[in-house]
Chains A and B, each alone.
Chain A
Amino acid sequence: MPDHPRSIDEVFDVFPNAPITHDNLDIYLGRLERRLLVKRCRACDRYHEPPRSFCPDCLSGDVAAAPVSGAGRVVLFSRVHTGPAGFGIDYAAGHPIAVVELREQPGLRLSGQFVTPDGRDARLDERVELVWIDRADGPTPAFVPSSEEV
């Protein structure tokens, strides 16, 4: 859990559009603190996505949100020219979406905006790391090209 627990009301205020549930509430509490969390089973140590209350690998109910690096490689990418309004996204320029396989566990993936100074597309399999961006719907994890690679 975050070091300084915030109230549930604040999560609903800061993320007005997010599909917040009892299964992912702690993930959004983490976002308030700009901490990237993923559900992890304390019985078998496996991470899983999307967030659930029972571990899909060993069926233990001892699952908690645990910090992850946000570093990994781009498995999927698309620049989309249409999408939901209300997030302040410029779809005319195209919104770059990357699905990143985290280095913590094979097959464990998170999606987020791909951010570069020149607005280029991500290359499949390129290495990336976490960056936090501020959007209309609060602090949002995003990905930048890995500094180690340059």
Chain B
Amino acid sequence: MAQPISDQIAIAGVFSAPYTRSRGMTALAMVTEACVGALRDAGLGPCDVDGLSGSQLVHSNTLQAALGVPEITWWCNQRIPVYHQLFEAMYAVWSGAATTVLVYHVTYRAPGVSRSAAADPFRRRFGLGTNVPNANPDAAVNAVGYATWAGRYLHDYGLDRTTFGMVAVNGRSNALLNEHAAMREPLTMDDYLAARMLREPLTMLDMDLPVDGADAFVVTSTERARDLPRRPVTIHAASMGQARVNNEEQLVDLDHTGQQIAAAAMWSRSDATLRDIDVFLPYDGFSIIETRWFEVIGYCGPGEAYDFMKHHWNTERERIEIDGRVLVNPHGGSLADGGTQGSGHFREAVLQLRGEASEGRQVPGATTALVTSGGFFFNSAAAVLRADEG
């Protein structure tokens, strides 16, 4: 059931600095580019902003000075993923702490992520950023945590890697239609199965693609957004979820994660049901996460994601089309658009609900988007966004 806040807060502007393997720019420059674009998109300027929802990579005080925002009355510097920044902004506007909040998210390929990144002298001077390596080589945490639970999932349901391959192929096929995506080479199941193994059973094609890139959003009241040039995209329902036992190794099982808590909370706050969803944007930082979101959010039962994807597979387009209509990560997701902790998913939701996504990728007449963010351990969230009817 809708809550008092439902549809009262809107995204009035969006813009992305391109996602590429190497932009040759600082994180601050990419954020500035994205924020300037989002403000222009919303028909606003720096003087209209009184809140900044920032990241740990570029703090809000740095960005405020860089953008020349005269005064702000609210800010935060949240950790990834991006729903933290978006939801914080939503609550800040709802509470009256700010009227117009600029939300931004940036990723910068740290030298620890690859040999090519390590070879870049600018990245070496930048340091590790948020990519702090695990100090214990035996710990099944972070990426290893996802790999081990992916293995458990396949084992328990008698599945093989083609399940995850369908997630990767769907993302890549969609990315071919997205000029913004960082990975735009076609991917077949055979390519997927031959990919370099990183952490069994997950390959380099099962984890989000490290990119340079930034997204920015203008969050304000729906009432105010209706006076701005773009059709507002309202936040209809939003939730976060975390279970008591939430670390990778001690997690009870995949049926007791933050995903189930976030899903139940989100549906309890929503007038929309799964049948109303036009576009589904499940987080795919690891392919197993998207696989499970199909099941947890209610498209199918536990262990049934493979059958579900297969049943709704368009063999001509090599992608998932639920009931022949609903696209899944039409921008390509973290695996192909680029790994930005879900900011690409929210950006795509806004573009889809404004009818601005490219041909073949736009769901015709999309009015309702479902974004499920985060994974199993301590970062699950879900949201329904709607095109404003007002």
Question: Which residues from chain A sit less than 8 Å from chain B, CB to CB?
Answer: 17-19, 49-50, 75-84, 87, 89, 94-95, 97, 99, 107, 109-113, 121, 124, 140, 142
> In the complex, what distance in Å separates the CA atom of A116 from the CA atom of B157?
27
Residues of A within 8 A of B155 (CB): 124
Chain B residues positioned under 8 Å from A78 (CB to CB): 140, 144, 147-148, 151, 199-201
Q: Judge whether B152 and A19 touch: CB under 8 Å.
A: no
0/1 interface trace, chain B 279-317, chain A, CB 8 Å (1 if under): 000000000000000000000000000000000000000
Closest chain A CB from B161 CB (angstroms): 13
Give chain B's interface residues, CB within 8 Å of chain A.
133-140, 144, 147-149, 151-152, 155, 196-201, 245, 247, 249-250, 252
Q: Chain A residues with Cβ under 8 A from B151's Cβ?
A: 76-78, 124
Q: Are A80 and B247 in contact (CB-based, < 8 A)?
A: no
Known: A94-B200, A99-B249. A18 touches B140 (CB 8 A): no
Q: Supply 20 further A-B pairs (C-beta < 8 A) apart from A82-B198, A84-B134, A107-B252.
A: A19-B135, A49-B250, A76-B149, A76-B152, A77-B148, A78-B199, A79-B200, A80-B147, A80-B199, A80-B200, A84-B135, A95-B137, A97-B139, A109-B250, A111-B139, A111-B249, A112-B138, A113-B138, A124-B152, A140-B138
Q: How many Å from the CB of B43 to the closest CB on chain A?
A: 46
27 residue pairs of the A-B complex, CB under 8 angstroms, read A17-B135, A18-B136, A50-B250, A75-B152, A76-B151, A78-B147, A78-B148, A79-B200, A80-B147, A80-B199, A81-B200, A82-B198, A83-B144, A84-B135, A89-B137, A95-B137, A97-B139, A97-B140, A97-B144, A97-B148, A99-B148, A107-B252, A109-B249, A109-B250, A111-B140, A124-B152, A142-B138
Q: Is the interface of B mostly helix, strand, loop or mixed?
A: loop
A94→B197 CA distance, assembly (Å): 10
Cα-based distance from A82 to B155 in the complex (angstroms) = 23
A118 to chain B, nearest CB (A): 17
Contact at A18–B135, with CB atoms within 8 Å? yes
Q: Across chains A and B, which 8 residue pairs bring their CB atoms closest together, nearest first?
A: A76-B148, A78-B147, A80-B199, A79-B200, A78-B148, A87-B137, A99-B140, A124-B155
